[in-house]
Amino acid sequence: MTAPATANAVEHVVAGEVLAFPAQEPARAARDSRPLRLITCGSVDDGKSTLIGRLLWDTKAVKEDQAATLQRDSNGKQNDLGLPDFALLLDGLQAEREQGITIDVAYRYFSTDKRSFIVADTPGHEQYTRNMATGASTADLAVLLVDARVGLLEQTRRHATIATLMGIKQFVLAVNKIDLTDYDRARFEEISHEFRELALSLGVRQVTAIPVSALKGENVVYDGRAAMPWYDGPTLIEVLELATTRSAQTVGFRLPVQRVSRPGESFRGYQGTVAGGSVKPGDSVVILPSGMVANVTKIVTFDLVRNAAVAGDAITLVLDRQVDVSRGDMIVAIDSQPLTGLSFDAQLVALQAEGIQPGKRYWLKSGSRRQRVQVQPASQLDLKTGKWNQAEQLPMNAIGKVHLSFDEQAIFDTYEQNRTTGAFILIDPDTNNTVAGGMITAKRSALGGIHTEDARVILSLPADLADQLMATELFANRREEAEIRRVSAGKAVEIIDDIDG
């Protein structure tokens, strides 16, 4: 579970300038790290299929019989290196291609001596938001593809924005078709500079830009030094080999209880996958939502009774006393507890044609917990401008900010803190379909002066801010929900202190 020491090296890489790439090879031991999950973003025009095909081909993930099928399907279409059309490799069955159902997420697998990779391959065109969000939800890293001749496009911004929203913090910019610019270094640097600005505006600092030719296989798996002596940074595969995998070990212990194991009177264990932090026998824990306290006596697995478990481990936990624990409860560290409450703020991606209807009651599933929720859309992200606009409902593919109201206590961390306990899906009770993927941004509290379901809230603001806010159309439309009081800035600070205190 521990990341190899070398993995940190990538963190020092900034856009277009590789500051510190380790000269020494990481340990030769086969697969010394967890599989890296990545998502590729870009369109057919950018050469995305060719890039993934190249990765699979050069890492020998394509076998002879598959290649033969590919060769036949290519129907003579070959690139100038005599290779088959890689795009066909990725599009699945012939029938599938004919039916045009590639608007979805496909998963590809390849590996090197050092690591295995799972690529979520999403189409770059229609419904990209929905599919990208799905692919990005489990990804540790995003590869964004641009055509060196074209540079950044509006879609590059969109892809980067969605990837960031879904919690991806490592980006690779593959400046593809660099061969078609005669390996123009200035062009590459111009694009990577522009992308660095974009990434910074999104708060992403871990960016590596690489000039590649997916078609010729330069700087993908094999280096392109012969054609680009000016580039001394890593190849794509080198970056992927050293990237860090998601880890929630630094936060508080979380165990969403999947099931209670009672094979006999003498044994009662709580089974689940550790969603954050670590645990060891003797630790004090709280069971949520009941709030009961207990101590861990044992961590049971098939292989041995363990002395510790960390995020990602599927375990069975035994406690020192009889407490009421059932599926959907969360066992957490006593000194670092998640947020509990009836009202939360979240961002979500609408995944189905019906969109998200205001006030409709959905099922919300997070971890092993499923409960009823009412969803109130507040705003929608304009992917073109990056601005949030007021919205009453969210159509398919929309990214929105929403308020969640529960009948029973909900338990979350923010997504920023924990990508497992901060994530949820919404299920439409009429169709049973998954209609949204969401990320918790904050807990809402009545005291915090934010709008709640029925209560009229009071905002105490400095006079100038109060006037400005009351002049807005948004406030005018919802005047009955809130009352604004003008106070001095000093008084506002006092009120805030009282609330926080």
Partner 1 sequence: MPHIHPETELHNPQSAKPPLDPHLKALENEAIHIFREVAAEFERPVMLYSIGKDSSVLLHLARKAFYPGRVPFQLLHVNTGWKFAEMIAFRNEIVERYDLDLIEHVNPRGAAENVTPFTHGSALYTDIMKTEALRQALDAGQFDAAFGGARRDEEASRAKERIYSFRTPDHRWDPRNQRPELWNVYNGMIRKGESVRAFPLSNWTEVDIWRYIQAEDIPIVPLYFAEKRPIVERDGMMILAEDPRLELLPGETKREEVIRFRTLGCFPLTGAIRSNATTLDDIISELETATVSERQGRAIDRDQSGSMEKKKREGYF
The residue (of 106 and 470) whose beta carbon lies closer to partner 1 is 106
User: Is residue 366 involved in binding partner 1 (CB under 8 A)?
Assistant: yes
- Contact with partner 1 (CB under 8 A): which of 43, 50, 129, 316? 316
DSSP type of residue 90 = H
Give me 104's structure tokens. 């979805």
Residue 19 beta carbon to partner 1: minimum distance, rounded to whole angstroms: 27
Pairing, β 170-176 against β 141-147: parallel
Asked if 355 and 395 touch (Cβ cutoff 8 Å), the reply is: yes
- Contact with partner 1 (CB under 8 A): which of 19, 23, 24, 63? 63
Query: Which 406-435 positions form the footprint of partner 1 (CB under 8 A)?
Result: 419-420, 423-425, 427, 432-434
Query: Which 121-150 positions form the footprint of partner 1 (CB under 8 A)?
Result: 130, 133-134, 137-138
Question: Rounded to 10 degrees, what is the CA torsion of 232, 235, 238, 244?
Answer: 90
Starting at the edge strand found earlier in the chain, the sheet holding 36-41 runs: 106-111, 116-121, 36-41, 141-147, 170-176, 206-211
- Contact with partner 1 (CB under 8 A): which of 53, 367, 377, 449? 367
Site string for partner 1, 22-41 (x = CB under 8 A): --------xxxxxx------
The residue (of 100 and 490) whose beta carbon lies closer to partner 1 is 100
Query: Which 85-114 positions form the footprint of partner 1 (CB under 8 A)?
Result: 91-93, 96, 99, 101, 104-109, 111
The residue (of 39 and 209) whose beta carbon lies closer to partner 1 is 39
CA distances from 457 to 336, 462, 478 (A): 30, 16, 11
User: Is residue 226 involved in binding partner 1 (CB under 8 A)?
Assistant: no
The residue (of 65 and 497) whose beta carbon lies closer to partner 1 is 65
Helix (H) or strand (E) holding 199: helix 185-201
Asked if 275 and 336 touch (Cβ cutoff 8 Å), the reply is: no
| Region from 68-76, 144-152, 157-165, 282-290 binding partner 1, contact rule CB under 8 A | 68-76
Query: Which 240-279 positions form the footprint of partner 1 (CB under 8 A)?
Result: 258-259, 261-264, 266-267, 269, 271-273
Count of residues engaged in binding partner 1, rule: CB under 8 A: 84
The residue (of 11 and 104) whose beta carbon lies closer to partner 1 is 104
- Contact with partner 1 (CB under 8 A): which of 11, 14, 45, 118? 118
Site string for partner 1, 174-213 (x = CB under 8 A): ----------------------------------------
Name the burial class of residue 193, with classes exposed (0-12), middle (13-18) and buried (19+) by CB atoms within 10 angstroms of its CB: middle
Spatial distance between the Cα atoms of 255 and 259, rounded to a whole number of angstroms = 11
Query: Which 323-352 positions form the footprint of partner 1 (CB under 8 A)?
Result: 327, 351
The residue (of 434 and 445) whose beta carbon lies closer to partner 1 is 434
Chain centroid to CA 205: 16
Long-range contacts of 189-192 (CB under 8 A, 24+ apart): 189/16, 190/151, 191/146, 191/148, 191/151, 191/152, 192/15, 192/16
Q: What are phi and psi of 307, to 5 degrees?
A: -95, 0
CA distances from 471 to 305, 331, 345, 422 (A): 64, 47, 25, 35
User: Is residue 74 involved in binding partner 1 (CB under 8 A)?
Assistant: no
Alpha-carbon dihedral sign for residues 440, 445, 449, 453: positive
The residue (of 199 and 423) whose beta carbon lies closer to partner 1 is 423
